[in-house]
Amino acid sequence: MVQYARPLARLVGEFEKLPGIGPKSAQRLAFFVLRQSEEEARALAEAIVEVKARIGYCRVCFNFTDREVCEICADSRRDAGLLCVVADPRDLIAMEKTGEFRGLYHVLGGVLAPMEGIGPDQLKIRDLFARLRENAPREIVLAMDPTVEGDATAMYLATHLKNLGLRVTHIAHGVPVGGSLDYTDPATLIQAFEGRREM
């Protein structure tokens, strides 16, 4: 075991908790911070504290925002007749990067995963239906990752949404099977959006 001075061990330990960061990368990041100026290191620490203090969920779509209602929901130029349902705020960002989608979003906050105890009540599904009761769009576009859980979530939503007489489509699987929207390049995602099919 490497023996770090205690504050350094603490920083390495914190970096190791980050996704995709192993002990070696954690060490590299910690030593990078050590070499930074006091000012740069403080800016990093403050950015982390600020994001936790100021960012919350949009009360309409559950995207991350520093306002009560996010910029997308507040934008009257967006097409309220088109609602894209995504699992994660990162998927929303992926869709936005394409520049093709001009509708609104609903972020579920995950996908159904019964084995992990994630059922409809753990996601923003009830909020989605409440929202649809107030304002029914002409089309709901499901944009779930092509994974087992993503497909199951899309099927669940499609069944319930169609029962309400809503038109439901799913983006085409130009997105590689088992892949994630988040890692799909904008051009592929545009194709997937344009090739969306009825559910």
Residues near Zn ion (CB under 5 A) are 58, 60-61, 63, 70, 73
Closest CA to 98 of 68, 58, 141, 161: 141
In the bound state with Zn ion, the residue whose beta carbon lies nearer, of 74 and 187, is: 74
Closest CA to 184 of 195, 174, 171: 174
In the bound state with Zn ion, the residue whose beta carbon lies nearer, of 78 and 97, is: 78
Cβ within 8 Å of residue 63, ≥6 positions away = 57, 70, 72, 73, 89, 92, 105, 107
- Minimum CB separation of residue 114 from Zn ion in Å reads 28
- Minimum CB separation of residue 72 from Zn ion in Å reads 5
In the bound state with Zn ion, the residue whose beta carbon lies nearer, of 108 and 175, is: 108
Q: Is 57 within 8 Å of 64 (Cβ atoms)? A: yes
- Minimum CB separation of residue 45 from Zn ion in Å reads 29
Closest CA to 171 of 110, 93, 91: 91
- Minimum CB separation of residue 183 from Zn ion in Å reads 23
In the bound state with Zn ion, the residue whose beta carbon lies nearer, of 21 and 69, is: 69
